[in-house]
C-alpha cells in the first residue's frame, strides 16, 4: 500500500458496546481502530490512547451504541428496484445495469451495511462490482457475489419469462446433468463466490412453487462446486425441497418455507445454514398497501411467516446458523431502507432476543461471507467495520432502520461521510414498464 496516507488510530471512547457475539451489552466500553483493523477493546483501548507516542483521534461516543456494521446475507444489488418481473427481465441492459449498481451500492453502505452477499444478479455485474470495490474504485461494503441463478427450464418465480436455454434476467437455464456441471464450473471460473440454485419454481398454470430439481441434480451441483471450494445456496419454497437441499449438501438454504421436522433434521445432520429472508414478505404483507402493492396474498404471507418463523426459531435454538437477508433490490425492498428489517421480524414475529437477532445480522453474517474470524464482531484483530448510533436497539430493534440516528460509520477503518446526502436520481428512459392503461378501455367504460 505504498504511497497511501496512514490513517491515525481512532478511539471511540465510552460508548455502549454491542459486540455482535450475542453477549451482554457492555456500558462505557471504548474501541480502538487502527488502519483497517479493530486494535483493542475496553481498558486496553483506553490505555493505548494514553500512550505518549500515540497519534490517536479521540471520538467521544458517550451515550451512543457502538456495534459491528450490518451484514446482509441476501441482496440483489444489480436488479435496480424493478416493480415487476417484466421490468426485470426485459428492461435491463449490461452497461446501464453496471452504472446503476455502482450508484445503488452507496445507499446500501449508508444504511449501516459494511458487508453483503449478492446472491445472484444480472450480467455478472455483481462480480465486477465486487472486484471494483476490492480494487478501491467504488466506495462500497465488502461484497461476495454469485453469478446467475441456476434453473431447470421450469424456472423460478418468473413463469414464462424463463427461456428453455441460455440466460435471461438473473437466470441461467441448465438443461441436463452435463450442463449443471459445465455451468457451475463456468460460474466459478468467472469469479462467483457461491453457486445459487433455484430449487423450486412456479409452473404458471399452478399455484405456489413446485420442487423442480431432483435430489440427484442438487447433488451434482453441490459436488462440482465443493470440489472447487465454492459453497452452494438454494432458493427453497417447500419442505421436501428444503430437506433435499440439506441432504444434497447445500450450504445456505434461502426461505425454507413451511419447513417441517424432517427438513429440520436433515439441516441439523448436514450442517446447512438458514437465511429465511422474511423481509420481502413482511414488507408486502404489512406495508405493501402504502406503496400501492396490489397483491392479495397478505394473509398467505403472514401465515407463512408465522409457520416458518416458529421452525426457524427452533432451528436457531438448536444451533443452526441463521442469517439476516433483506432481498433488497425490488420496488418492495429498495436499496438502503430495509437491511435491518429481518432483525426486526426475528424479534417481533419470531420472539427472538434482540441481541440474538443482532448476532444473526452481524456475527453469523461472517459465515455467509466466508469470513469467520475476519468480520462480524467487535474484537481485536477483526476488520474495523463499525456502526455508531444514537439509540438502543435492545430496547427497540427498529432504531437500526432509522438512518437519522447514525452518528459514525467506519468501513474497513475509514469513516464514511454520513453528512453528505446520497443524491436523488431521475428515472432513465426505457427503465420502467409503461402500461397503456390500468384496465381495458371497453365501450361500456366510456358509456356508463
Give the nearest distance from C-beta 384 to Zn ion in angstroms: 29
Query: What is the distance of C-alpha 148 from the center of its chain?
Result: 16
Distance CA 140, CA 117 (A): 12
Please list every residue from 391 through 430 that binds Zn ion, using CB under 5 A. none
Give the nearest distance from C-beta 75 to Zn ion in angstroms: 8
> Is the CB of residue 253 less than 8 Å from the CB of residue 274?
yes
Give the nearest distance from C-beta 325 to Zn ion in angstroms: 7
Distance CA 214, CA 177 (A): 11
The set of cell numbers assigned to 197 is: 440454485
Q: Which residues contact 271 (CB under 8 A, 6 or more apart)?
A: none
Q: Report how many helices (DSSP H) and strands (DSSP E) the chain contains, helices first.
A: 14, 19
Give the nearest distance from C-beta 264 to Zn ion in angstroms: 22
Q: How many residues bind Zn ion (CB under 5 A)?
A: 1
Q: Cβ-closest residue to Zn ion?
A: 327
Nearer to Zn ion, 74 or 412 (CB): 74
Give the nearest distance from C-beta 74 to Zn ion in angstroms: 6
Nearer to Zn ion, 170 or 410 (CB): 170
Give the nearest distance from C-beta 119 to Zn ion in angstroms: 6
> Is the CB of residue 44 less than 8 Å from the CB of residue 38?
no
Nearer to Zn ion, 275 or 347 (CB): 275
Nearer to Zn ion, 87 or 327 (CB): 327
Nearer to Zn ion, 18 or 195 (CB): 195
Give the nearest distance from C-beta 76 to Zn ion in angstroms: 6
Distance CA 122, CA 119 (A): 11
Please list every residue from 4 through 33 that binds Zn ion, using CB under 5 A. none
Please list every residue from 283 through 342 that binds Zn ion, using CB under 5 A. 327
Distance CA 414, CA 186 (A): 35
Please give the DSSP secondary-structure letter assigned to residue 304: H
Residue ranges in 160-277 assigned as alpha helix (H): 177-189, 215-227, 239-248, 261-270
Nearer to Zn ion, 193 or 327 (CB): 327
> Is the CB of residue 284 less than 8 Å from the CB of residue 297?
yes
Nearer to Zn ion, 45 or 77 (CB): 77
Distance CA 343, CA 177 (A): 38
Applying CB under 5 A, the residues found at the interface with Zn ion are 327
Amino acid at each position: 500500500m505504498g504511497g497511501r496516507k496512514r490513517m491515525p488510530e481512532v478511539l471511540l471512547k465510552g460508548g455502549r458496546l454491542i459486540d455482535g457475539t450475542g453477549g451482554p451489552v457492555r456500558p462505557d466500553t471504548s474501541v480502538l481502530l487502527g488502519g483497517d483493523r479493530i486494535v483493542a477493546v475496553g481498558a486496553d483501548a483506553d490505555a493505548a490512547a494514553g500512550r505518549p507516542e500515540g497519534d490517536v483521534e479521540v471520538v467521544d461516543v458517550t451515550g451512543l451504541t457502538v456495534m459491528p456494521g450490518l451484514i446482509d446475507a441476501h441482496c440483489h444489488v444489480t436488479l435496480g428496484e424493478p416493480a415487476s418481473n417484466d421490468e426485470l427481465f426485459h428492461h435491463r441492459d449490461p452497461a446501464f445495469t453496471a452504472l446503476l449498481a455502482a450508484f445503488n451500492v452507496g445507499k446500501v453502505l449508508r444504511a449501516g451495511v459494511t458487508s453483503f452477499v449478492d446472491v445472484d444478479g444480472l450480467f455478472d455485474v455483481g462480480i465486477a462490482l465486487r472486484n471494483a470495490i476490492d480494487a478501491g474504485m467504488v466506495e462500497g461494503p465488502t461484497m461476495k457475489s454469485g453469478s446467475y441463478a441456476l434453473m431447470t427450464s421450469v424456472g423460478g418465480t418468473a413463469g414464462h419469462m424463463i427461456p428453455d436455454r441460455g440466460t435471461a434476467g438473473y437466470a441461467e437455464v441448465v438443461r441436463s446433468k452435463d450442463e449443471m456441471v459445465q455451468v457451475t464450473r463456468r460460474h466459478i471460473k468467472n469469479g462467483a463466490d457461491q453457486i445459487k440454485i433455484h430449487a423450486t419454481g412456479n409452473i404458471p398454470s399452478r399455484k405456489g412453487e413446485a420442487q423442480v430439481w431432483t435430489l440427484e441434480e442438487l447433488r451434482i451441483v453441490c459436488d462440482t462446486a465443493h470440489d472447487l471450494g465454492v459453497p452452494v445456496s438454494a432458493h427453497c419454497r417447500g419442505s421436501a425441497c428444503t430437506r433435499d437441499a440439506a441432504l444434497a449438501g447445500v450450504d445456505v438454504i434461502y426461505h425454507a418455507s413451511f419447513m417441517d421436522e424432517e427438513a429440520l433434521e436433515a439441516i441439523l445432520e448436514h450442517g446447512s445454514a438458514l437465511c429465511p429472508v422474511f423481509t420481502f414478505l413482511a414488507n408486502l404483507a404489512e406495508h405493501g398497501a402504502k406503496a400501492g402493492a396490489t397483491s392479495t396474498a397478505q394473509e398467505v404471507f403472514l401465515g407463512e411467516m408465522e409457520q416458518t418463523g416458529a421452525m426457524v426459531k427452533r432451528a436457531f435454538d438448536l444451533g443452526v446458523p441463521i442469517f439476516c437477508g433483506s432481498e433488497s433490490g425490488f420496488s418492495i425492498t429498495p436499496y438502503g431502507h430495509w437491511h435491518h428489517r429481518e432483525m426486526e421480524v426475528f424479534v417481533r414475529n419470531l420472539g427472538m432476543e434482540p441481541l440474538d437477532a443482532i448476532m444473526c445480522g452481524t456475527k453469523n453474517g461472517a459465515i455467509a461471507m466466508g469470513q469467520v474470524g475476519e468480520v462480524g464482531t467487535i474484537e481485536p484483530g477483526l476488520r474495523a467495520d463499525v456502526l455508531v448510533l444514537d439509540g438502543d436497539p435492545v430496547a427497540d430493534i427498529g432504531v437500526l432502520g432509522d438512518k437519522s440516528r447514525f452518528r459514525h460509520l467506519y468501513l474497513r477503518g475509514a469513516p464514511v461521510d454520513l453528512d453528505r446526502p446520497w443524491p436523488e436520481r431521475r428515472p432513465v428512459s426505457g427503465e420502467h414498464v409503461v402500461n397503456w392503461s390500468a384496465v381495458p378501455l371497453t365501450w361500456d367504460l366510456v358509456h356508463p
